[in-house]
Amino acid sequence: MSDQPDRYAVIGNPVAHSRSPEIHAAFAAQTGQSLVYARLPAEIDAFEATVARFFADGGLGLNVTLPFKQQASEYADTLTDRARHAGAVNTLARQGDGRILGDNTDGAGLLHDLNDRLLVDIRDARILILGAGGAVRGVIPVLLDRQPAALRVLNRTPDKATQLATHFADLGPVSGGGLDEASGGWDIVINAISAGLAGEMPPLADTLVADAIAAYDMIYADAPTPFMRWARAAGVTRCSDGLGMLVEQAAESFAVWRGIRPATEPVIRALRPATQ
């Protein structure tokens, strides 16, 4: 029997910025699990080959980040219900029989952070999501399950947002359109525009968050993000980046792999810069 620790990683492009190794190291220490967790960069056209090599070499699980979440859904042998609903996978787990399970923990991570840490109630809320990438596919089913009054997705490319809305139309009141259609009247505004990682955001009217009780950026950074700064300047007092979501979705992935869900609050506190 090998005494080597179990191997996990996060795969993406880019992936050098990922804080997942720190998070999972903290979870392992907290729960007494023997594992190592690394960053696994993959070329855009080499996702499947990189994943296959990782599992063939004995790896047990991967977190999947941009831009590979939909490819991961196609790669997995079996999908959980939440991954099947999302059509995107952020967690791959090698099962005892060698088959690869695909799961999506993004929605659960966002919901834990909004509900438990920020005390934001989803039920009957009017929710606006900016952006329509892979992470959005993971959160829409979970948000709709909490019965909001409305959920609207706006994207630079309107067709992508309307396609998402059509895909999830049977789950609740969801619609899609272009960013140029953005207007006010929302209780919760969630940013999922990945360009925010580079400090770039499209121009947004302050009226967009005029009625908002919360503004949430799914991107995380060491300083308040451009979206957070804009929302605060527009008068929203309850603003957060996505560090809490990142830790919460990681805890869900950890539970898939190890059968135990670690406590998240100590890890969020340890990772949160004092400047936030």
Catalytic site residues? 69
CB 273 within 8 A of CB 222: yes
For the purposes of burial, counting CB atoms within 10 Å of the CB of 119, is it exposed (0-12), middle (13-18) or buried (19 or more)? exposed
C-alpha 92/C-alpha 8 separation (Å) is 10
157 is in an annotated binding site: yes
156 is in an annotated binding site: yes
C-alpha 94/C-alpha 49 separation (Å) is 16
218 is in an annotated binding site: yes
172 is in an annotated binding site: no
Angle at 122 between CA 232 and CA 64, to 5 degrees: 80
175 is in an annotated binding site: no
65 is in an annotated binding site: yes
- The helix/strand/coil state of 176 is strand
106 is in an annotated binding site: yes
107 is in an annotated binding site: no
131 is in an annotated binding site: yes
Task: Collect all residues with Cβ–Cβ distance below 8 Å to 273 and sequence separation of at least 6.
Answer: 222, 223
CB 153 within 8 A of CB 191: no
78 is in an annotated binding site: no
Residue from 30, 57, 48, 227 nearest 38 by CA: 57
133 is in an annotated binding site: yes
C-alpha 3/C-alpha 183 separation (Å) is 58
Q: Give the residue numbers of the binding site for shikimate.
A: 18-20, 65, 90, 106, 220, 249
Q: Give the residue numbers of the binding site for NADP(+).
A: 81, 131-135, 155-160, 218, 242
